[in-house]
């Protein structure tokens, strides 16, 4: 078994995640980490242990008018490997104990993430000074005014800068959690979690090393059948004409509708899907690079290498070595793409 896989499967304890619930907390924000991280299993063992905590254990008001009973206090942050700060529906006011806990976690070298307005807590702790970050669009100007040193990214789903990951609002928290899973365990595991949770596959959101440009949420279904058909035929040299013919419209109409629904051009969307398929095949097969490139429609091993390096910062061989889920080595990938 590859050493990376062996270490992953033989981990004595799952990766510990502390989710901090400010008051009044968003119930949706709290549900997302438990739902997604809780579906990660490796060799029959849980990949994560999620603990929800609050500055004042006990009943914590929610933005929906209910109270949630939170058993754990902020001491859970000290035991965590990753800290996630949920958002709140109230006008933002820093909670000194949460800010102190987040700052202490940062000093200990932990990964820290925020959902929605949780970014304000990270900014108050000084973690985002001079760094790229995002928050829910409705609160972006307030964050920019209060913390002008933050390089606020207003048009992304999530962004990672060093050990700090921030997501915008609502469903972007799903994308952030899938991104964390992908970073820890690879694209195949993250995509399987997405399938189990009935949500969209991993979408890039802003991190330089493992992402390039974000894919916005899909906003329509007119081209859904064509997107599905393209996903089933990624190994073929699809063109704009092929896509338009399947959709039964002109190339111009297809391009306009596709961009309106997906936020990107048909060929940008297609390239993203090909690269994601390549990453999954790198993790789950021992296909030689030339065959793998053809299977995902990238053509040649050299083309595969260029796209994977641009997207992940790793060569295909290095990506396979880090994220392979197979019990055998990866000698089969010793082609020119290495």
Question: Furthest-apart CA pair in the chain: how many Å?
Answer: 60
Structure tokens at 65: 């008018």
Q: For residue 187, give Cα distances in angstroms to 85, 101, 251, 338.
A: 24, 31, 32, 20
Read off the pTM.
0.65
Select from 230, 233, 201 the least CA-distant residue to 217: 201
Q: For residue 277, give Cα distances in angstroms to 116, 215, 244, 281, 283.
A: 30, 16, 22, 6, 10
101 within 8 A of 81, measured Cβ to Cβ? no
Taking residues 241-253, what's their average pLDDT? 93
Strand, helix or coil for residue 126: coil
Q: Which residues of 202-241 are buried (b: 16+ CB within 10 A; e: fewer)?
A: bbbbbbeebbbebbeeeeeeebeebbeebeeebeeebebe
Taking residues 100-129, what's their average pLDDT? 97
Angle between helices 266-284 and 224-232 (to 10 degrees): 40
Find where tokens 């089969």 sit: 332
List, for residues 172-209, the tens digit of each pLDDT value: 899 999 999 988 998 888 888 988 887 766 665 543 32
List, for residues 4-43, the tens digit of each pLDDT value: 444 444 445 799 999 999 999 999 999 999 999 999 998 8
List, for residues 274-329, the tens digit of each pLDDT value: 998 999 899 889 999 999 999 999 999 999 999 998 887 788 998 888 777 775 43
């Amino acid at each position: 078994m590859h050493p990376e896989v062996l270490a992953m499967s033989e981990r004595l304890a799952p990766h510990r995640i502390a989710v901090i619930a400010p008051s009044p907390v968003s119930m949706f924000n709290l549900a997302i980490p438990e739902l997604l991280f809780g579906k990660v299993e490796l060799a029959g063992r849980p990949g994560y242990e999620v603990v929800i905590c609050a500055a004042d254990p006990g009943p914590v008001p929610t933005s929906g008018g209910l109270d949630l009973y939170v058993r754990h206090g902020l001491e859970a942050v000290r035991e965590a490997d990753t800290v996630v700060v949920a958002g709140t529906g109230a006008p933002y006011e820093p909670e000194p104990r949460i800010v102190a806990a987040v700052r202490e976690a940062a000093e200990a070298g932990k990964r820290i993430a925020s959902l929605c307005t949780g970014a304000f807590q990270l900014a108050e702790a000084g973690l985002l000074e001079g760094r790229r970050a995002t928050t829910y669009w409705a609160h972006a100007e307030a964050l920019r005014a209060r913390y002008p040193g933050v390089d606020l990214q207003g048009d992304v789903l999530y962004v990672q800068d060093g050990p700090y990951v921030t997501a915008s609002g609502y469903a972007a928290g799903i994308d952030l959690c899938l991104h964390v899973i992908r970073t820890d365990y690879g694209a195949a595991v993250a995509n399987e979690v997405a399938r189990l949770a009935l949500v969209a596959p991993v979408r890039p959101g802003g991190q330089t090393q493992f992402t390039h440009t974000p894919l916005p949420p899909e906003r329509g279904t007119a081209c859904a059948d064509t997107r599905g058909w393209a996903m089933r035929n990624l190994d073929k040299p699809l063109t704009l004409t092929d896509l338009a013919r399947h959709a039964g419209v002109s190339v111009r109409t297809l391009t306009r509708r596709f961009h309106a629904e997906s936020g990107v051009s048909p060929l940008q969307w297609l390239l993203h899907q090909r690269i994601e398929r390549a990453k999954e095949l790198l993790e789950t097969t021992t296909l030689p690079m030339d065959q793998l490139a053809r299977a995902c429609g990238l053509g040649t091993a050299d083309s595969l290498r260029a796209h994977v390096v641009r997207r992940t910062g790793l060569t295909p061989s290095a990506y396979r070595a880090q994220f392979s889920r197979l019990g055998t080595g990866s000698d089969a990938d010793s082609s020119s793409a290495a």
